[in-house]
Structure formats: structure tokens, C-alpha cells
Amino acid sequence: MAQNPIKSGELDRIIQDLEKEVRENKNSVVAHHRLALAYWKAGRSEEAISEFQKALKLDPASFEIRINLGTLFFQLGRLEEGIRENKEALNAHPGSAEALANIGSAYLQMGKFQDAEGYFKKALELKPEMVPALTNYATVLVELDELDKAVEVAEKAVCLAPEFGLAFNNLAVACFYKGDVQRAEEAVQKAKQLGYPIHPDFEAKINSAKQ
């Protein structure tokens, strides 16, 4: 969801206007969706979920609403519910790399690495240059001990997005576990230059391996 800066008082006024619009147009998918987005921006998550669900009752096949609701569930740590919404989005749009990558990311967080691998593969077949999917896929491959492939995927991610600190962090992890400590250290330094916070334990492992 786009996060445009809106002052608190202005957002309150927008919500009041949207609530009035919903009262006057109870069967409007657009009105419920817009109100859900405003509640979400205001941090009123449960109200946002309720409005997303009302919109989906009126338009169950809406890809955009499913993806937004799924993203909100992911933000709240409600991964199973987020996966469910993204799978519903896939039913409407089977060729969505976004939904596939979202599900892969959730399975990664849940430690279901083989499931995550399958969804990332499908997403990258559709969009081979999808950097967030490549970056997370590299992490999955490390967890599955497919280290050569992990380095290859991570290298592609940093080539496509040379200003993306997380991509360099994940390249460092893949190189380290493959045994290339020098390349791992170089990737760590690049990630730090880009402002990415390297985990102290991982940096300590690299320093120890150099000795």
C-alpha cells in the first residue's frame, strides 16, 4: 500500500468523509475499499480488515483488495490469513508473480522452506528480475543447503539492485556458508555502506573465520 504523508488531522477528516460515503453507498466496493485503506494508514487495523472484508463480499474476485488485505495480515503477523488471501488472489489471477512471491515470503517466515522455494520459483518464472523475490529466494536456498544456487541468485539480485542493502546481506550469508569468507566480507561492507544493519552475530562469525 502506498504510504503518502498525510497529517493526522487531515487523515481524520478523510476518514470521516469516507465513513459518510460508506453509509450513503453501502453496496459500493470502491467506498469500502477506500475506507479500509484510510483505516490502515491510520493504524486502525481491525477496522481496516472489516472494511476490506465488506468490499470482498461485494466483489470476491477483486485482486487488488485481496492483495491489500493479505499484506495487512502479513504486517500483523497473521501469516496463515495472509497466505489465504494471496491464494484467493491467485485464483482470480493465476499469473500474478506478486501473489506468488508474497506467499513464498510468508512460508519463509514460517520456516517452511520447501514450500517457499516452490512459490519463489513460480514467481521468478513469471518475473525473472523481481528483486525482492530473488533476495528472499537466496535465503531459502541457504536454508536448503543449495549454496551454489544461493550465491548465483543473490549475485543476480545485487546486479539488478546495486543500492539494495538486504540483497548484499543475503549475498554475504550465501558466500559465507559456501566458504567464500572474503566475498562475504566484501558484501557485508557494501551492505553497511548502504545503511543495512548487519546482525552482530553474523559479523562476528566472519571475523572469527578470518582468523
Q: How far apart, in whole angstroms, are the C-alpha atoms of residue 97 and residue 103? A: 10
Q: In degrees, to the nearest 5, what angle opens at C-alpha 44 toward C-alphas 46 and 61?
A: 55
Name the residue ranges covered by the structural domains of the chain.
129-211
- Smallest Cα–Cα separation from 64: which of 33, 100, 43? 33
pLDDT tens for the 211 residues of the chain, in order: 444 556 668 999 999 999 999 999 999 999 999 999 999 999 999 999 999 999 999 999 999 999 999 999 999 999 999 999 999 999 989 899 999 999 999 999 999 999 999 999 999 999 999 999 999 999 999 999 999 999 999 999 999 999 999 999 999 999 999 999 999 999 999 999 999 999 999 999 999 998 7
What sign does the CA torsion over 14, 29, 71, 74 have?
Answer: positive
48: Cβ–Cβ under 8 A, 6 or more apart, which residues?
Answer: 36, 37, 39, 40, 72
**Is domain 129-211 given the CATH code 3.30.420.40 in the classification?**
no
Q: How far apart, in whole angstroms, are the C-alpha atoms of residue 16 and residue 1? A: 20
Q: How far apart, in whole angstroms, are the C-alpha atoms of residue 81 and residue 110? A: 13
